[in-house]
Amino acid sequence: PLERRASPLPNMPPPPDLHVPSRGGSGASGHGASSKSLRREHTFRKRMMSGVHDAHEAELLSMFHHDAEDAENQETSAMSRKSIGSGPLIPRLPKKSRRDKESRLTLKISEEPFTCTRETVAVLTEEYVCFDGEGGQLYDHIYLLEISTVSVDYVDGRQWVKLETNPDGDNAGRVYRLRGGADAVARDWADSIEEHKSTLYHHLSNPWRLRKHWVRGVYNSLWFQLALSFFIVMSFITVCVESQQQPEEGSSLANTIAALDIFFTLLFLFDLVINFLTNYFWRFARNFWNLFDMVIVMASLISLINVYSVNNPSLHVLSQARAFRIFRLAGKFTQLKRIIGAIGMSIVPMANGFLIALIFGSTFTVLGTGFFKDTDPVNFGTFSRTFYTLWIAVAFGQWENGLLFLDENQQINFLVVLYILFFVVIMLWISLQVVLAILLENFVSAQQIEQGRAAKVQLAEANAKRGHTGGLDVLLEALMEHYQTTDELIKGITLVFIWLDSYDRGSISYDDARTGLKKLNTHIPLILEHREWDSLTHDFATLLDAEGRMSLSNFHLLITHQLRTFVQWHVAKVQAMNEDAIESRWTFSALRMIFLDHKRIAARGAEGQEGGRLSPGETPLATFGGVLSSKQNSEVFSEPDSLTPLPRGVLPNAPDLKALSSPIPIMVPAASGGGGGE
């Protein structure tokens, strides 16, 4: 089982007796799935790699890890609890910048009654002990806080690091042993793992960190944000009253407004400090509205200090920043965020539209100056005067100029008429309307994007409440996301099976599936319960062998069927979300009919009888809530011959409802008119 084949994964599921004993390959969709990992808030000092590698070991290490590829955009996701769900489905080794210790060791994994031994590259990070598979893909990993005991024991006269894991954790109580080329390597690794575990525990249990999370929850609560929004509105009203009343210095109104200004400035400064401390640092710095708040609050604070200290007139302009406080509401309410976001998305396209309008306007300015500078030098004497005159016309202002539509002979001056006509058509009816259309298009696009996100959240919430696929929805969604084509999907399912087959036995049990699925890089930890495993394998008795294990080909059959069910449910849900659109409704109805597996429905009775799950001649039929025999089942779902006419009054595929032994009363017409029976 320690041998690893370098051949690529098969394009079709292998037969039941074929096993691919390899953990290699890409863990993402082809070679393109990648994601940037979040940096830790602090980094440990890099430790020197223990032991001295000979030429052969150095060659192996260089084959597994390439410094040239270890950049910020490296297609490997760092092993961090912050980056769960990002990157490839099958986890990969952390970047070299996140590795605190790295050595080539002998790994022995024990879980009664199985034991697996292999040579691997062990990597120690701030949170994990990772073991390399092939090509940088993980073979296995241990979260440091799930290690219950770290010890050094002797096996066959050699020192081994013994790592005992929590039975309720991701590693399900497995025992890991590590051994290096010398006994000192084992002791060094034991000390390093203990040190990292202690550091991680103290970091996560830091009272300041726990208090910060509590304060962040209070700060982001609805009532706190509503109260803060109320004070923002009151601050803006105060600024408006001051601008209207213009109170004299020293008056009671001026003193009241000054006191309110001090109160609002200190209140918003307190809000900024709390926001900064609870979201330190990148969470705060990457939010545009946080930076906007900081600029406004700092300008108001400097203006307040200036008034009560040096009173420098050049800094009085900063007091006008109080008028921008009302824009802080845009960061508090979703609808305002959408409007501002739509305007932000329209800036670049609108700039292009304004550039075209500016070119047209400058052209008319040059023409107007050349044509009418002698006739009306006040309004068309120079380029700037003509530009201002035409701007008044564009802004629908009062346009007074000396251009006459009639010349001295009381004849129509066609030059003036054509100039004004073309200016109005090109500038007012075309150029400015294009700019407005760009703004509306981007606003509608932003609204559609937000509606799509809301629909996605709604679909995810509905998906979390269902259990029709036996608890594999998270895995199915990840497979659909990472693998697009049929070949990629087959390869991805094979990679998942290899990941689950921890001991390279060529088949997996419930314990293998439960332990391996929890370690997959999904956005929600996938915890498979035993009842869900029974639900997955109940209708397919041949999926499991006599020992309750599943082969690779049967795993392909199971996942393919569950993917079909998963897609069917989502199509039905999306159809329900588009009931008002008649075209979408019937389009999704047609898709649902395409996905229905009529052959499987017709053959379900035979499959259930061969599987031995039910008594001979019986199979459950959820449609009628009762039990049909295989003969009845085939009669109900058999497709009629399209060339054979049906007798008059006989419906196609009509079952004999009286023959159904169902606990649900089914009403059928009585033999004679007027009555009815069950």
Asked whether the beta carbons of 365 and 380 are under 8 A apart, the reply is: no
Asked whether the beta carbons of 233 and 329 are under 8 A apart, the reply is: yes
**pLDDT at residue 621 in the model:** 37
Measuring CA to CA, how many Å separate 224 from each of 219, 231, 265, 285, 380?
Answer: 6, 11, 17, 21, 58
First to last CA, the chain: 62
Residue whose entry in the numeric block shows the structure tokens 């539509």: 405
**pLDDT at residue 145 in the model:** 93
Instruction: Compute the distance between CA of residue 661 and CA of residue 624 in angstroms, rounded to an integer.
Output: 9
Q: What is the mean pLDDT of residues 187-201?
A: 94
How high does pLDDT run on average in the chain?
A: 74
Q: Give the lowest-confidence range in 1-5, 338-342, 491-495, 616-620.
A: 1-5
Q: How confident is the model at residue 142 (pLDDT cuts 50, 70, 90)?
A: very high
**pLDDT at residue 597 in the model:** 58
Residues 6+ positions from 565 with CB-CB distance below 8 Å: 468, 469
DSSP state, residue 316: G
Inform me whether the pLDDT recorded for 10 exceeds 60. no
Instruction: Compute the distance between CA of residue 149 and CA of residue 193 in angstroms, rounded to an integer.
Output: 10
Instruction: Compute the distance between CA of residue 92 and CA of residue 33 in angstroms, rounded to an integer.
Output: 12
**pLDDT at residue 233 in the model:** 92
- The torsion angles phi and psi of 259, rounded to 5 degrees, stand at -65, -40
**pLDDT at residue 463 in the model:** 65
Note the pTM of the prediction, 2 decimals: 0.57
Inform me whether the pLDDT recorded for 162 exceeds 90. yes
DSSP state, residue 203: H
Inform me whether the pLDDT recorded for 309 exceeds 50. yes
Per-residue pLDDT tens digits for 243-279 = 999 999 889 999 999 999 999 999 999 999 999 999 9
Is the model more confident about 640 or about 410?
A: 410
Inform me whether the pLDDT recorded for 406 exceeds 70. no
Per-residue pLDDT tens digits for 660-674 = 343 434 444 444 444
**pLDDT at residue 408 in the model:** 64
Q: How confident is the model at residue 311 (pLDDT cuts 50, 70, 90)?
A: confident
Inform me whether the pLDDT recorded for 199 exceeds 90. yes
Q: How confident is the model at residue 51 (pLDDT cuts 50, 70, 90)?
A: very low
**Three-state secondary structure call for residue 416:** helix
Inform me whether the pLDDT recorded for 648 exceeds 60. no
**pLDDT at residue 525 in the model:** 81
Cis before 113 (ω within 30): yes
Inform me whether the pLDDT recorded for 43 exceeds 80. no
Q: How confident is the model at residue 86 (pLDDT cuts 50, 70, 90)?
A: low
**pLDDT at residue 596 in the model:** 62
Cβ neighbours around 400 below 10 Å, total: 9
Is the model more confident about 65 or about 113?
A: 113
Q: What is the mean pLDDT of residues 73-97?
A: 63
**pLDDT at residue 73 in the model:** 35
**pLDDT at residue 80 in the model:** 56
> What are the structural domains of the chain?
55-205 (2.30.29.30), 214-332 (1.20.120.350), 338-448 (1.10.287.70), 473-596 (1.10.238.10), 601-677 (no CATH)
Instruction: Compute the distance between CA of residue 301 and CA of residue 321 in angstroms, rounded to an integer.
Output: 10
Is the model more confident about 655 or about 337?
A: 337
Inform me whether the pLDDT recorded for 403 exceeds 80. no
Residue whose entry in the numeric block shows the structure tokens 């069927």: 561
Inform me whether the pLDDT recorded for 586 exceeds 80. no
Q: What is the mean pLDDT of residues 403-407?
A: 67
**pLDDT at residue 102 in the model:** 93
Handedness of CA 168, 171, 174, 178 (dihedral sign): negative
